[in-house]
Structure 1
Amino acid sequence: MADDLDWDAIIAPGDDAGRRRRSADSAADPDRPMSRREARAAEAAAAASAPAGPEAEDARPVTTDVGSAGTRHPVAPADAPVARSHDELHPEVQALLTGEVPAPDARAVGDAHGGTGTGPDGPRDGAGGTGDGGRGGRGGGGGASRQPRGPRPPRRRGPLIAGIVIVALVLAVGVGAYAFAAPKIQQVVGAIGGSREPDDYTGDGTSKVTVTIKQGDIGEDVAKTLQRSGVVKSSKVFYKLLLTSPDVSFQPGSYELKKEMSSKAALAALRDSDNRVEASIVIPEGTALQDIEAGMVSKAGLTEAEVTAAAKDVQAYGLPAGTTTLEGWLFPATYPINPGWTAKQYFQSMVDTMKEHLAAAGVAEGDQERVIVFASLVQKEAGLAADYPKVARVFQNRLDIDMPLQSDATVAYGTGNTHKVTTTDAERADAGNEYNTYVHKGLPPAPISNPGDVAIKAVTNMADGKWLYFVTVDLDTGETVFSDTYAQHQVAVKQFQAWLRAHPEYQ
């Protein structure tokens, strides 16, 4: 680069006026050595006055020197060859002019096409010109003469792509924020405009349901009871409606409403005395504890938490020592709804009723636990009432010879299924199920249902017989065949299988 740039002109101190004065002084002193710029100017002037043509070009004296490496270099700066195209420039000069790499001194490089340049004294304006060798000149002096800038390199797309991605992300965040905030905004607008809340049902409801308002219930309690029973969609919406109706008061008792009612429709139905009914909790024979608890929640207006807590407090009901569950001790009957009762009061009424029926069947207090366990098994396995004493006898005969009871009903209960008595091979082989009477001999550890009078009497008054097996051969009529031997039982099983083939709707 030292051979191609007029560094004396680039680094010369002072402003343009000072440099012009120095140029004038040099003209007055012909013996002073010329700068590279002056030498080139003189050479250009000589070329302009010389005849045109190849001869003139060849006649130009060029003095060179041969270096140690065999390369030829100009002897004097004024005699350095002038680049006539962009490709003839030194690579570093090309880089400096095109801007592809940072220039060593950016202040010394201006715009090859004119405009505003930056010199030692700050910004300056200059118009680019074209010399004889295609080199650009700058007005105002003090700048480096150079070739006009070549084609600009292609723009990098990285920043553009990054900008597009950022805009997309901003839009995505905006859409997500709108999706999150829109429901809240709609609720606020709906509340201001008096329109229906979006989390409320519409219409007068579907299927019938009975709900109970307890003694001492306040508006918030009533709202929660309606939501638990499936009457309203949101207790909060119903409660807000109550707050706008200060003249509303509720009478304890049971009301026949409908599921999925709007809050306004539910409130109107509760205020209608024609919807008040004498409700009750109905417990069929063989009902399991978990189903009784669900009925108390839906019918008596109790919460699941208080019903569950009351059921776990087994020793609060005067049961025999060692009793671990209320299962079996809740006598199947119809219990009127008492709005002032707690969950414990309902359970106590059911336990007391069971004790009364055990006493009426002649069961001694010390035998109550065993009779209830046995009766709960018969209740789930027997079909026709006339067969209950026979089923009880089959199980007793097996107990007498230390034969497994092999009751599917007990296995199913141990798996948590209280609504069917069918099981799989894997379930019947599971020794981890303490209710599995295929694996564990004797009665199950606790009752598997709440038996009624028929099952209790069947256990206290069993039929006479040597039966060890039984199978229902007609599911329509409940007909059951009892057998003394396994061979007889296999014949009865084939009879049942034939009936199933004739009635595919049961399969």
Structure 2
Amino acid sequence: MANEPSWDDIFTGQPPTAPAARQAAPEPEPTEFDSFAQLFGAPEEPATPAETLTPAAGQDDAPVSRRAARESAGRGRQGSGGGSRGGSGGLRDNGGPGKRKFLWLKITLPIVLVLGSLAGVAAYGWFTYNDQVRELLGIQLPNDYEGSGNGEEVIVTVRSGDIGSDVARELHEAGVTMTYDAVYDYLVANPDVGFLPGNWQLQKMMSAESAVSALQDSANKVTDRLLLREGISLETSLEVIAETTGLPLDEVTAAASDPQSFGLPAEAPTLEGFLFPATYELDGGETAQGILQMLVNTTIARLDAAGVAPENRYTTLIMASIIQREAGSNKDDFYKISRVFQNRIDQGINLQSDATVAYGTGRFDSVWTEPEERADPSNLYNTYANPGLPVGPIGLPGDLAIDAALHPVDGPWLFFVPINLATGETVFSETADEHQAAVNKLFAWCDASAENATYCE
């Protein structure tokens, strides 16, 4: 949704006992060796006679774990003349092995600790900033999967008029391909590839080549399940129905031309908003009229289940359709957007939804508009120039959008704008100045890459 002052404001719509003589001695101060044992969690044990460390016959070369060797060495030093506890043997003999071992430990331990810390920092940095580290080191990041998928089915929709960039984005967002670029680059290298509208059964984690090839194989086209996605327009819905069922588009369009024959309210000029977005099982014998009636009946049933009175069905669908088109993937944003529109209605402020303006101009897949379009009151879907709700729904709302229309969350916002169209991250604001700052972030995001730009057309 754009801010009120101008449309550089876009649309309103993110870790054994020691000898007796030893026992009578006063308790000595701990040394570095004690700290080392405590540091690694070694249990405090009574001093062990040195002879218990002598290997059994035939086991001189038996392998010993590093921890066992460390603990054995510690007990030996403690038992040979007091060792680290300040006795008169072992560590106090300048030429004895205890002194040399302890000196080695004093030198090595800090190195080990420093290297361990550095390794931990390095590991954290690699896993947290993998992409940035790779870029800094000049290591090329992979942008494509290998093979033909991981076996997890996913349905993707190709719409009438979709071009290569649209298909590349659809495949990436559905989890089929690793990146947008992998598909786009493949299509640039293979300019003769074309696509047929409809729903297609693919898998997640496919290479760009295998995904595009799958879209050329009619065996992957879904004909026994009708899938309508939230937010698509009536026009696109009729195309998907025709492509899925094999019914002629003209026949489907003709059946949809008489909305009142499906039991719609008199004020509804079309079936827009009344074809519930979901997946439907087909047996292949359905008629166009029968399919459309099934979809309308599903919408009425969902509205009834949500507690919507018959006389409020149409206005509820209008509001829900705008929320559906303006919201991203964040569930909470649906309820916040609903609040923004309700606050504007309560305060007598025009909704100023670019999605409604674009719909009225015949662009059903865009929320970008021009100043002259927003200034045209003859467009009855223009919520900049006309107060209140538009004359009808602007797409197919799902259950979430319907619920949001009925239950807006509490909040003071009057503006909203997505600042990342790929993730749907949205900023909600109370003032026009706050909103304009968020709009500037959106423009910067659109300019950041060629892929981002495809969302901003």
Structure 2 length-normalised TM? 0.50
Bigger Rg, structure 1 or 2? 1
Q: RCO (CA 8 Å, sep 6+): is it higher in 1 or 2? A: 2
Structure 1 length-normalised TM? 0.45
